[in-house]
Amino acid sequence: MPVILNNIDGVTGVVKEPGKTFAKEKLKDTSVLVVGGGGREHAIVDALSRSPFVTKIYCAPGNAGIAAQAECVPISDHDIQALLDFAGDKGIDLTVVGPEVPLSMGIADAFAAAGRRIFGPSAAAARIECSKDWAKALMIKYGVPTASYRSFDDFDEAWAYVRERPFPQVLKYDGLAAGKGVTIPRTAEEAEADLRSMLLDDRFGKGKVVVEEFLTGPEFSFMCLVDGPKVFPLALAQDHKRAFEGDEGPNTGGMGAYSPLPFISAEEEEWALEHIMKPVAEGLVAEGAPFKGLLYGGLMKTPQGIKVIEFNCRFGDPETEVVLPRLESDFYLMLSAIADGTDMPEIRWSEDASLGFVLASKGYPGSYGKGFPIGGIDDAAGRVKVYHMGTRSTEQGIVTAGGRVLMTVGMAPSLKEARDKALAAAEGIVCGNLFFRKDIGHQVL
Ligand code: AMP
Ligand code: GLY
């Protein structure tokens, strides 16, 4: 009988009997279902697979890379009833939700009503991401620093307000818009066209527009595990939202990331925890929508201090792909502590830095082709972590199947070495239809 482990208390995560090991067979079988099929879910599966407590991982729907570490099941991440039935049939111990759409549709509420353990917030708490207008009102009410704003549902009123104010301004569609609902018009003409498309042509559906003051400064992502008023910070990361080098081109889901961040001090991080993340978690409790899951603060270090750009109700993508590889604690126990409302184990991080490049389909974030064969993945995966974001297995091998396709993540004692490793791996990927930004980390390297 192979003795693998591990000497960690299953509840507290604390080493119990120093010097002793436990057989994996002595632990009870634990199966986890991860919902989603991108790079974030690949990193979540990868982190869960390092937990000695997890004996089986399913992923719905998963992708070609995830299939090497989890059993992929062909259920859409939007199909809440099918996911609940699957979890019941397989006796899944914990379900972990990646994307925001099933959360906004109430997957956590449905699982809770059925008595199934789940990691992810209720639909009411997910409004922090799904309604920009609601999130702004919450921040103002609880004194959380953010850009000043006004909301409009009428085009004429919005246009009358916007045209009197200095440019640039920031326009945000109120609902979910797959990362495409924010524009930063620099002239009155651009602003009028954007307002028309959002309020008259209903480009994303009928909804309000939030008009925000334009802020400047470096952005960073502060992800915290949250259980009601309790907030547990994860390592900071920075995303790169624009498609092209030099932060040019359209906004994307994110073209690369790194962690930790040399430009945010421990004091600034503590300040953001105390003045932003905790007040918002407490505010959500006070509003009757306590948050249980991962609260993502998209923050900006402005000349007037740290302010909120946006909140998300889930792990960031691609931030998760650079943060979780640095985690030394047991991820399953951490998620369980939130799901069960029990004590959080100590959260420890590697001293190593991580940095990753996203390889995206040519044309992304606009329209792009799919089905292009990809070579060199195994070689890259032998040197760095390669997370699959949008891939599919075919008889001819692995092919592209999404806008963002792969992410190579290097880890090393310095950000520069991590960058060099990840860059070499990205350059070794062979595909006729991929591009990537080579300047990830340019603000600090
Ligand atoms: P969001 O989807 O809210 O994260 O917005 C997308 C991107 O637009 C952000 O990552 C920022 O780069 C930019 N942005 C959003 N709000 C502001 C703001 N008030 N001032 C400056 N840039 C902003
Ligand atoms: N990387 C930004 C996000 O996950 O929304």
Q: Is 98 in the pocket of ligand 2 (CB under 6 A)?
A: no
Helices (H), 55-183: 80-90, 100-104, 107-113, 123-130, 132-141, 155-163
Q: What's the pLDDT tens digit per position in 84-118?
A: 999 999 999 999 999 999 999 999 999 999 999 99
Give the model's pLDDT for residue 181. Answer: 83
Lining residues, ligand 1, CB within 6 Å:
147, 170, 172, 182, 212-215, 219, 241, 251, 298, 309-310
Is 254 touching ligand 2 by the criterion CB < 6 Å?
A: yes
d(Cα 341, Cα 119) in Å, to the nearest integer? 11
- Cα-to-centroid distance, 204 and ligand 1 (Å): 18
Torsions phi, psi of 310, nearest 5? -165, 160
| 212 CA closest ligand 1 atom index | 19
The pLDDT score that the predictor gives to residue 22 is 52
Identify whether the C-beta of residue 209 lies closer than 8 Å to the C-beta of residue 173: yes
Rounded to whole angstroms, what are the CA distances from 226 to 45, 84, 282, 294, 434? 20, 23, 10, 6, 37
Could you write out the DSSP letters of every residue in 188-228? HHHHHHHHIIIIIS-BTBS--EEEE----S-EEEEEEEEET
Q: 127 CA to middle of ligand 1, Å?
A: 18
pLDDT of 14 reads 57
Q: Over the Cα atoms of the chain, what is R_g?
A: 22
- Can you tell me the distance from the alpha carbon of 51 to that of 264, in angstroms, rounded to the nearest whole number? 30
Atom of ligand 2 nearest to the CA of 239: 1
**What pLDDT does 322 receive?**
98
Question: In a mutational test of the pocket of ligand 1, which residue from 128, 174, 182 has the highest number of ligand atoms less than 8 Å from its CB?
Answer: 182
CB-based burial label for 96 (10 Å; 0-12, 13-18, 19+): buried
Can you tell me the distance from the alpha carbon of 40 to that of 402, in angstroms, rounded to the nearest whole number?
Answer: 14
Give the residue, out of 131, 162, 167, 170, with the most ligand 1 atoms within 8 A of its beta carbon, to mutate for a pocket test. 170
Q: What would the DSSP string read from start to end of 36-90?
A: E-SHHHHHHHHHHHT-TT--EEEEEE--TTGGGTSEE----TT-HHHHHHHHHHH
pLDDT at 92: 98
- Does residue 319 have its Cβ closer than 6 Å to ligand 2? yes
What does the alpha-carbon distance between residue 1 and residue 297 come to, in Å, rounded to a whole number? Answer: 46
Per-residue model confidence (pLDDT) at position 397: 96
Q: What is the 241 CA–ligand 2 centroid distance (Å)?
A: 8
Q: Residue 254 C-alpha to ligand 2 middle, in angstroms? A: 6
Predicted local confidence at residue 20, as pLDDT: 54
Q: Which residues of the chain have pLDDT under 50?
A: 1-5, 25
How far does the centroid of ligand 1 lie from the alpha carbon of residue 241, in Å?
9
User: Which amino acid does the sequence have at 87?
Assistant: A
Find out whether the peptide bond into 262 is cis, omega within 30 degrees of 0. no
